[in-house]
Amino acid sequence: MNCLPLCFLLGLSACSVLALPSKSNQGRVYDSELSKEAHAGGQGHNAEYDHDAFLGADRAKEFEQLSPDESRERLRKLVPKVDTDKDGFVTESELKDWIKFTQNRYLEKTVSESWSQYDTDKDGAVSWSEHRQTAFGPISDEELETDEKYKVYKEQTRKDKRRWKAADTNGDGRLTKDEFSAFTHPEEYSHMKAIAVEETLDDIDKNNDRKLSIDEYLNDLYTPEERAAGGEEPQWLKDERESFGKHRDRNGDGFMDKEEVQRWIVPDHYDHAEAEAKHLIHEADTEPKDEKLTADEIVNKYDLFAGSQVTDYGEAMKRHDEF
C-alpha cells in the first residue's frame, strides 16, 4: 500500500513548486498532515509515521545515524523544553503545543529557503515569470504549447496558475511572502481548501467528471497493479470499501462530490497534532496510567520520540547548545 507524499510540506520540487503527489491513504488528508506515511494499514502500526510526524520526512534518516544511548541522552535533555509548566510531566496539551510550535518553525524555515530561490530580483515579491523560470527553466510559451516533450510541464503550468490565483489574495499578479507561503503550503490556509480539492480530483478522477466513484477512490488506495500482483483483497481495503458507503458518500448517490471530497481531505475538525499527541501518550504512558509522561517514560520510548518534531526535525539532537 502506497501513501501520499505531500511535497508542498517538504519544500519546493526541483521541477515545480506544485509537483502533485501521486498516491494516497491517510496521507490524502491535507490539513497540516504530519507525515506522508500511513499511521496504520495492512501491516499494522507504522512507526515511520511517528518519526516523520516529529522529524519531517526529509530529516527522518538523520535519526538512524544516532546511537540509542546518544538518542536517550539528548532526548532527556530536551524534555524540560516540552514540559512548559516545569511540573515534571509532559501532558497531552504540552506535547500538542510543542508539535505545533515546531511545525510552524519548520514551515517558516522552508518558506524562507524557497523564497530566496524564487524572488530572484530581490524586490520583495515573486512574479509569475520568476516562478516559471525557477520552476521550469527557460521554456518559451510557444515550446510549452506545441512541443510534446513539454506536455507534463504544460499541465503543471495550468495547475500552478490555478493555485497562484487563489494564493494571490490582492490580485496584483505577484506573491508576497505570506501569499507565497499559501501557494507552497495550501494545507495551512483555509482559503486554499478548494484548491486542495481540485488537485485531488485532477489526480484521481480518471474520467474527468469532477467526482469520485468508489472504484476511483479504491484504486487510489490500492492500484490495479497491486491488485494484479497479489491474491485476496486485504481486509483494510474491504474496510475502506465499506467506509466509502458509510462515511465518504454522505448523500448516498454512489459518488464523492466536491463537498464530500473536501470533508475527506481537509476535515474541519481534525487536528493532526492533537491526534499524534494522544497517540504518543497512549504508547509511552506506563502503569499507573495517568495520561501524562515523565522523562523516564519518554526516554524509554526513545525510538518513538527521538529525532522527532520535538527535536526541531533532528537538528536539536545534533546541537548541544540547544540544551
Residues 6 or more apart from 323 whose CB is under 8 A from it?
Answer: 74, 77, 78, 316
Instruction: Say how far apart CA 152 and CA 216 lie, in whole Å.
Output: 22
Q: In angstroms, what is the C-alpha Rg of the chain?
A: 21
Residues 6 or more apart from 259 whose CB is under 8 A from it?
Answer: none
231 band by pLDDT with thresholds 50, 70 and 90: confident
> What ranges make up the beta strands (E) of 212-311?
212-213, 255-256, 292-293
Q: Is the dihedral of CA 309, 315, 320, 323 positive or negative?
A: negative
Grid coordinates representing 79? Answer: 524534555
The label of the residue with cell 481540485 reads 198
Grid coordinates representing 230? Answer: 497479489
- Find the angle CA(307)-CA(309)-CA(311) to the nearest 5 degrees: 55
> What ranges make up the beta strands (E) of 43-115?
44-45, 90-91
pLDDT at 177: 97
Instruction: Say how far apart CA 187 and CA 8 lie, in whole Å.
Output: 9
240-282 pLDDT, tens per residue? 999 999 999 999 999 999 999 999 988 888 888 898 899 999 9
ω into 288 cis (within 30 of 0) = yes
Whether 51 has a pLDDT exceeding 50, the answer reads yes
> What ranges make up the beta strands (E) of 9-102?
40-41, 44-45, 90-91
280-308 pLDDT, tens per residue? 999 999 988 999 999 999 989 888 876 44
DSSP run (H or E) holding 156: helix 151-167
pLDDT at 35: 54
* Total residue count of the chain as it appears in this document: 323
204 band by pLDDT with thresholds 50, 70 and 90: very high
Rounded to an integer, the average pLDDT of 62-70 is 73
Whether 63 has a pLDDT exceeding 80, the answer reads no
Rounded to an integer, the average pLDDT of 196-204 is 93
* DSSP per-residue codes, 144-201: HHH-GGGHHHHHHHHHHHHHHHHH-TT-SSEE-HHHHHHHH-GGG-GGGHHHHHHHHH
Q: Mean pLDDT check: name the lowest of 26-40, 247-261, 263-277, 309-323.
A: 309-323
% of the chain with per-residue pLDDT over 90 = 46
Residue 248 near residue 232, CB atoms below 8 Å: no
% of the chain with per-residue pLDDT over 70 = 75
pLDDT at 27: 52
**DSSP state letter for 234:** P
Question: Residue 124's closest CA among 116, 113, 135?
Answer: 116
